[in-house]
């Protein structure tokens, strides 16, 4: 006769051997971040190995990766992604859902080798509209990039830029 304890053990063994092992649960958070005084951030956000200057605001659902640098008094709105090798100087506004890239897929797909990644430099007082995408580029001080733009080339003189690819619409002032 099989006891209840033996039956329970057999059932437990069967369940444990037939069920897939779930992947590890990863969490978002703030790890190894250099923050200046007065930085405000709203959870959840994923900030790791980056540097954020004083008096910045970081909205929810933002990811800022290792090695990225954010200057003083910047506002990074929700759902934006700032990858490795991105430097944003002082007094910048990054709209909702702005995506920075560092990989040009030169071999036809993503490169796992950071040596193949390219830097992005965003100058002082730059405003980038929501849902814009920036490839590895340099953006001149005082530039305004319209919402939904795709910046594929360096912007060397300030002005208003928009479109896919982003083009200069007019000068400032």
What pLDDT digit, counting tens, does each position of 14-57 carry? 656 666 767 777 777 899 999 999 999 999 999 999 999 999 99
What pLDDT digit, counting tens, does each position of 162-173 carry? 999 999 999 987
pLDDT at 17: 67
Quote the mean pLDDT of the chain.
92
The reported pTM is 0.85
| Of the candidates 49, 71, 68, 55, the residue with the CA atom closest to the CA atom of residue 123 | 71
pLDDT at 32: 94
∠ Cα 130 134 140 (to 5°): 95
* Separation CA 148–CA 129 (nearest Å): 7
pLDDT at 8: 66
Q: Which CA distances in Å does 33 have to 3, 46, 59, 73, 160?
A: 57, 10, 16, 17, 33
What pLDDT digit, counting tens, does each position of 109-136 carry? 999 899 999 999 999 999 999 999 999 9
Residues 6+ apart with CB under 8 A from 79: 59, 60, 61, 62, 96, 97
Q: Which residue has the higher pLDDT, 19 or 80?
A: 80
CATH code assigned to 28-170: 2.160.10.10
Between 22-31, 99-108, 111-120, 144-153, the lowest mean confidence (pLDDT) is in 22-31
pLDDT at 16: 62
pLDDT at 12: 67
């Amino acid at each position: 006769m099989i006891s209840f304890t033996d039956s329970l053990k057999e059932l437990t063994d069967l369940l444990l051997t037939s069920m897939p092992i779930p992947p590890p649960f990863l969490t978002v958070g703030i790890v190894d971040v250099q923050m200046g005084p007065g930085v405000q951030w709203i959870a959840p956000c994923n900030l790791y190995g980056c540097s954020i200057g004083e008096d910045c605001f970081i909205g929810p659902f933002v990811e800022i990766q290792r090695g990225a640098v954010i200057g003083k008094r910047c506002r990074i709105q929700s759902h934006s992604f700032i990858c490795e090798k991105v430097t944003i100087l002082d007094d910048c506004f990054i709209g909702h859902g702005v995506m920075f890239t560092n990989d040009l897929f030169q071999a036809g797909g993503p490169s796992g080798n950071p040596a193949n990644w390219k830097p992005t430099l965003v100058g002082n007082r730059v405003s980038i509209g929501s849902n814009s995408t920036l490839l590895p580029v340099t953006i001149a001080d005082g530039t305004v990039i319209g919402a939904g733009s795709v910046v594929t080339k360096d912007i060397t003189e300030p002005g208003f830029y928009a479109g896919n690819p982003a083009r200069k619409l007019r000068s400032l002032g």
